[in-house]
Amino acid sequence: MDYYFSTSLKDTNFEGALSKTKEALKAEGFGVLTEIDIKATLKQKLDANFHNYVILGACNPPLAYEALSAEDKIGTMLPCNVIVQEKEPGRIEIAAVDPAASMQAVKNEALAGIAENVGTKLKKVIENIGNR
């Protein structure tokens, strides 16, 4: 089982892909709680060069509430991470965690349906990015 959903965009710039990703998340009820610029962080902390790579911490409040109500420690796995990276100029990859894969370690049956619902929404986000 893959632990993520992904898509690639060609002939687009990094900022445009990041914007499309945020729009697609919003359309499925997700907000972006955190935005980590890995390239800038690695440059600042290690003086290391890295390609454009941003981690978005996405949260769908009603589904997060449902998950937290079923399992109070599930916050250790929230928010759902979505990455936008540019390995080569003009070729952007967007990937989102598959919550069903990450929740396999949690032995709580109540989470299975919630994880499936979140996964369906994140899959739709990834599918819709290319259509924006």
For residue 97, the one-letter residue type is V
Report the share of the chain in percent with pLDDT over 90.
81
Q: What is the pLDDT of residue 45?
A: 97
3-state secondary structure of 94: strand
User: For residue 131, what pLDDT band results from cuts at 50, 70 and 90?
Assistant: low
pLDDT tens digits, one per residue of 1-45: 589 999 999 888 999 999 999 999 999 999 999 999 999 999 999
Q: What is the pLDDT of residue 50?
A: 97
d(CA 100, CA 97): 9
Give the domain CATH number at 90.
3.30.310.70
Peptide bond into 62 cis (omega under 30): no
User: For residue 109, what pLDDT band results from cuts at 50, 70 and 90?
Assistant: confident
Q: Is the per-residue pLDDT at 132 higher than 60?
A: no
Count structural domains, the chain: 1
Which range is most confident: 52-61, 72-81, 82-91?
52-61
Q: What is the pLDDT of residue 103?
A: 80
The structure's pTM equals: 0.93
Containing structural domain, residue 104: 4-129
